[in-house]
């Protein structure tokens, strides 16, 4: 298979990283959204307790895991999901990259995603040999019917939240055309100024999950990025088809990680603790960036501040690197981001406070 993948853009940031490292107070790296706080004790214990795992785990996940997920869906998101329609994945990035292929997209098919988006939607379309289409709204597709439409609310990178009425329109539009909607909801429990809504909520989809899939990750909610843990749910027939292929292909979440996931989805206290940490970091960074002359757009939810000084993003990256603060240029997420930078709120309190001190000096 010959696939044209985009250049890995992070290499372009390397010189600025080097520059930021030279700062006397050390680098404050706000360029990637990787969690830095401890994995909750309750989750670690579950992983260790399940360390004796000589046999093969089920691709489908343990019944305990699927029940824990179904419990979480109803408790936190107001979604009635059949545990049978829950399918664990090895972190959602692999699912984003492979879902178009696993759902049968190929040459001649279009995979649509937001014009400002997590780059892996584009990668997934290319891996399938389909045509990636970044769109600023479904109407810009004209009469074209994509095979798959990605939505991502709260958004990476902008932090924008799509309200229920908007999601309803997307679902209705896709249903009239037979397109599959995949909703990447990995920041759904990280709403600040707006309440994130799942595509599977009854007021969005009338309780009918046909043609819809939602993707959820434990990486951010539970500081579990290192475990690689997420799941897919939605249309039972699509989930069954995905299970079939993933079984054959050995795309299996390890048994100890399944046990850890079960514990994580059964507990909300650690999520509230983590939310409080992020809320403080977000508030102080936001104030400091504004006092430095930034405008913060969207950013109602999620782990990023979408900031602009109305100048080319690389100028902003350079100016902040001189302060020892590394951020991601908006153009990594699409041309529409050319005058923004993405500032992650995932550094330690100590590093966030260092950035704040430099921005407000």
What is the size of the binding site for ligand PLP (CB under 6 A)? 14
For the CB of residue 361, give the shortest distance to ligand PLP in the complex, in Å. Answer: 31
338's CB contacts (< 8 A; 6+ apart) are 312, 313, 330, 331
Task: Answer yes or no whether residue 325 interacts with ligand PLP by CB under 6 A.
Answer: no
158 in contact with ligand PLP (CB under 6 A): no
Listed residue (252, 244, 247, 8) closest to 120, CA to CA? 8
Q: Are the beta carbons of 125 and 117 closer than 8 angstroms? A: no
Q: Please, what is the minimum distance in Å from the beta carbon of residue 121 to ligand PLP?
A: 8
C-alpha triplet 49, 274, 330: angle, nearest 5°:
115
Strand partners, 269: none
Residues 6+ apart with CB under 8 A from 324: 20, 21, 22, 23, 24, 25, 26, 27, 28, 354, 358
Query: Closer CB to ligand PLP, residue 91 or residue 256?
Result: 91
- Under the binding rule (CB under 6 A), the answer on residue 344 touching ligand PLP is no
Using CB under 6 A as the binding rule, whether residue 330 contacts ligand PLP is answered as: no
Q: How far is CA 318 from CA 19, 73, 303, 326, 354, in A?
A: 9, 42, 22, 9, 18
Token pair 């990995």 is found at 186
> Which of 35, 57, 91, 330: binder of ligand PLP (CB under 6 A)?
91
What is the Cα–Cα distance from 229 to 260, expressed in whole angstroms?
Answer: 9
Q: Which residue has the tokens 């019917």?
A: 145
CB 184 within 8 A of CB 219: no
The answer to the question of residue 116 lying near ligand PLP (CB under 6 A) is: no
Task: Please tell me whether residue 186 binds ligand PLP under the rule CB under 6 A.
Answer: yes
Helix, coil or strand: residue 325 = strand
Distance, CA of 48 to CA of 128 (rounded, Å): 37
Instruction: Determine the interface stretch with ligand PLP among 91-99, 138-146, 270-278, 335-343 (rule: CB under 6 A).
Output: 91-99
By CB under 6 A, tell whether 308 contacts ligand PLP. Answer: no
Q: Does residue 33 bind ligand PLP (CB under 6 A)?
A: yes
Binding span for ligand PLP by CB under 6 A among 39-47, 73-81, 92-100, 343-351? 92-100
Q: How far apart are CA 38 and CA 31, in angstroms?
A: 20
Considering the rule CB under 6 A, would residue 92 count as an interface residue with ligand PLP?
yes
Q: Which of residues 246-305 bind ligand PLP (CB under 6 A)?
A: none
Counting contacts by CB under 6 A, is residue 230 touching ligand PLP? yes
Tell the smallest beta-carbon distance from residue 207 to ligand PLP (Å).
25
Q: What is the C-alpha end-to-end distance of the chain, expressed in Å?
A: 54
Residue 74 burial class via C-beta count within 10 angstroms: exposed 0-12, middle 13-18, buried 19 and up: exposed
Tokens 């500032």, residue?
Answer: 343
Q: Which of 122, 184, 189, 331 binds ligand PLP (CB under 6 A)?
A: 184
Q: Which of 16, 98, 113, 118 binds ligand PLP (CB under 6 A)?
A: 118
Burial of 305 (0-12, 13-18, 19+ CB in 10 A): buried
Q: Which of 183, 217, 233, 299 binds ligand PLP (CB under 6 A)?
A: 217
Q: In this chain, which stretch among 7-15, 85-93, 101-109, 252-260 interacts with ligand PLP, using CB under 6 A?
A: 85-93
Q: Determine, following the binding rule CB under 6 A, whether residue 93 of this chain makes contact with ligand PLP.
A: yes
Question: Least separation, in Å, of the C-beta of 224 and ligand PLP?
Answer: 8
Chain contacts with ligand PLP (rule: CB under 6 A):
33, 91-93, 96, 118, 152, 156, 184, 186, 217, 219, 225, 230
């Amino acid at each position: 298979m010959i696939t044209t993948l985009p250049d890995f853009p992070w290499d372009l940031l390397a010189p600025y990283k080097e520059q930021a490292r030279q700062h006397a107070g050390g680098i404050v790296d706000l360029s990637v959204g990787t969690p830095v706080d401890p994995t909750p004790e309750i989750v670690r214990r579950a992983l260790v307790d399940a360390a004796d795992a000589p046999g093969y785990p089920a691709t489908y996940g343990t019944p305990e895991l699927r029940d824990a997920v179904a419990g979480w869906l109803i408790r936190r998101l107001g979604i009635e999901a059949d545990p049978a329609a829950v399918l664990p994945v090895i972190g959602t990035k692999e699912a984003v990259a492979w879902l178009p292929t696993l759902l049968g997209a190929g040459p001649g098919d279009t995979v649509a995603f937001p014009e400002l988006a997590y780059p892996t939607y584009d990668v997934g379309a290319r891996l399938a040999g389909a045509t990636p289409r970044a769109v600023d709204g479904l109407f810009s597709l004209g009469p074209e019917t994509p095979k798959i439409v990605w939505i991502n609310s709260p958004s990476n990178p902008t932090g924008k939240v799509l309200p229920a009425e908007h999601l309803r329109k997307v679902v209705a539009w896709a249903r009239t055309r037979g397109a599959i909607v995949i909703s990447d909801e990995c920041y759904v429990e990280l709403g600040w100024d707006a309440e994130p809504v799942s595509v599977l909520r009854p007021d969005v989809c009338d309780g009918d999950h046909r043609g819809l899939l939602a993707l959820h990750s434990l990486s951010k909610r539970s500081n579990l990025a290192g475990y690689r843990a997420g799941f897919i749910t939605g249309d039972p027939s699509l989930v069954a088809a995905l299970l079939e292929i993933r079984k054959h292909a050995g795309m299996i979440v390890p048994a100890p990680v399944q046990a850890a996931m079960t514990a994580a989805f059964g507990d909300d206290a650690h999520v509230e603790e983590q939310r409080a940490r992020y809320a403080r970091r977000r508030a102080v960074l936001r104030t400091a960036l504004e006092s430095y002359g930034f405008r913060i757009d969207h950013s109602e939810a999620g782990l990023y501040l979408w900031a602009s000084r109305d100048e080319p993003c690389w100028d902003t990256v350079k100016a902040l690197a001189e302060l020892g603060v590394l951020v991601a240029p908006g153009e990594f997420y699409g041309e529409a981001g050319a005058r923004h930078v993405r500032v992650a709120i995932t550094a330690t309190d100590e590093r966030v406070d260092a950035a704040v001190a430099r921005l407000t000096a």
